[in-house]
Amino acid sequence: MPETATRLSVVERFLRYVTYDTQSDENSKTCPSTAKQLVLLDLLVAELKALGLTDASRDENGYVMGTIPATTRKKNVPVIGFLAHVDTSPEQSGAGVKPIVHKGWRGQDIVLPDDPKAVLKLAENSELKEQIGNDIITASGTTLLGADNKAGVAEVVAAAEFLMAHPEIPHGTVKVGFTPDEEIGRGADKFDVKKFGAFCAYTLDGQTRGMLEIETFSADSMTVTFQGFNTHPGLAKDTMINSIKVAADFIHRLPKDRLSPETTSGREGFFHPYVLNASVDRTSVKFIVRDFVTAGLAEKEAMLEQLARETVAAWAGATVTFKVEESYRNMKEVLDRHPQVVEHAREAIRRAGLEPREHAIRGGTDGSRLSFMGLPTPNLFAGEQNIHSRLEWVSAQDMEKSVEVIVNLCRVWEERA
């Protein structure tokens, strides 16, 4: 396949962006969590301005926004937006990334030169089956690549470049945005929905070509606290109640073959103890609770409560209290109220010659938070694969397809207004 101008642009941008170390840090209290993210964010402002997005700017929290002016004569075309995050995962080094383009890949093992034990194999990566003949981009073996989410960043900028160069394509006002700190769950925290001014947006942060993600988990956290009674151990007979033992009994009663992250997949929910604060007097167990429907969360929380009450009934004098906090909700609840947001995305994917692959995310996204902040935001594929890993990869052809989908979406929203 000959290289198109769009593919050259998106690949060139991607190869450049990944050399910036933009790792976020969950232990930092600042926003963005690391100052190094600002270096890339500022570069993006300059690049958007160079493309003609004259209002492009970064705010004090690191959020970049810019506007592609409308080309249509229609007055009623909704403003839509495209978003990507610049930070990379704290789980793997993103410093000194050396991207390698494996042109016209023929299916052979890809040995990463800086660690010969890091080998990307067709047999172990089902997604690679669709990539024979394509240009596969990897890191060199000692770092992640950063395709999550610099593939998305490069795609949004390349789409902006394409639209600015083709004013004959009718579209409404299009907003672009780049955000920090997605990987530490704070990407939506300081996002100014009002200033962004769009009716809906799309994050470009999905994996496989054609993918459209419109569902996320609904999530709560639940703390179960057991109150015992502490005394001097030498004088404890008939008075001490050891809450550590009560909590251990409770944890022992949790189902072993179901309702846990390690025994569920697809659309099944779970509860998951992940922190224990223990002392003889008082022990609390923290859970995350997940399901795709909010009613499913309540069922699981009721079950935990029931098990905890049965436990304290077996330990004379022990008591238990519960605290449930909402974390986030399935964005489908919002998207169902705006069916055209999803319908137009399906159409844009089909026009790029792909079949939409819809899939429910067993987690949350910035988009799920933004959807409940008033900006309905499903997630589109960016092509990033094996994310947070030294074997991360993306293909040039998938990035090009993603740019095509962004441009198609702008057209579809205009046509159907």
Interface positions with Zn ion (CB under 5 A): 148-149, 205
Q: Which residues contact 241 (CB under 8 A, 6 or more apart)?
A: 228, 229, 315, 316, 317, 318
Query: Which alpha helices (H) appear in 88-130, and where do they start and end?
Result: none
Among residues 89 and 131, whose Cβ is nearest to Zn ion?
89
Q: How far is the CB of 87 from Zn ion (least distance, A)?
A: 8
Among residues 162 and 381, whose Cβ is nearest to Zn ion?
381
Q: How far is the CB of 203 from Zn ion (least distance, A)?
A: 8
Other CB atoms within 10 A of residue 371 CB: 29
Q: Catalytic residue among 47, 87, 205, 392, which? A: 87
Q: How far is the CB of 9 from Zn ion (least distance, A)?
A: 21
87 is catalytic: yes
Q: How far apart are CA 181 and CA 372, in angstroms?
A: 19
Among residues 135 and 148, whose Cβ is nearest to Zn ion?
148
189 is catalytic: no
Q: How far is the CB of 25 from Zn ion (least distance, A)?
A: 16
Q: Name the token pair of 62.
A: 């690191």
Residue 43, classified by CB atoms within 10 Å of its CB into exposed (0-12), middle (13-18) or buried (19+), is: middle
Q: Catalytic residue among 181, 182, 220, 291, which? A: 182
Which residue type sits at 22? Answer: T
Three-state DSSP at 204 gives: strand
Among residues 205 and 392, whose Cβ is nearest to Zn ion?
205
Contacts 24+ apart (CB under 8 A), 229-233: 229/281, 229/317, 230/279, 230/280, 230/281
Among residues 183 and 414, whose Cβ is nearest to Zn ion?
183
Q: How far is the CB of 99 from Zn ion (least distance, A)?
A: 17
Helix axes 147-165, 5-17, angle to 10 degrees: 140
Q: How far is the CB of 188 from Zn ion (least distance, A)?
A: 13
Q: How far is the CB of 387 from Zn ion (least distance, A)?
A: 7
Q: Which residues contact 146 (CB under 8 A, 6 or more apart)?
A: 17, 18, 22, 88, 94, 97, 139, 392
Which residue type sits at 327? Answer: S
Which residue type sits at 12? Answer: E
Task: Assign 3-state DSSP to the chain and report helix, strand, coil percentages, each to 5.
Answer: 35, 25, 45
Strand locations in 115-199 (E): 119-120, 136-138, 174-179
Among residues 149 and 283, whose Cβ is nearest to Zn ion?
149
Report whether 330 contacts 371 (CB < 8 A): no
Among residues 148 and 181, whose Cβ is nearest to Zn ion?
148
Active site residues: 87, 182
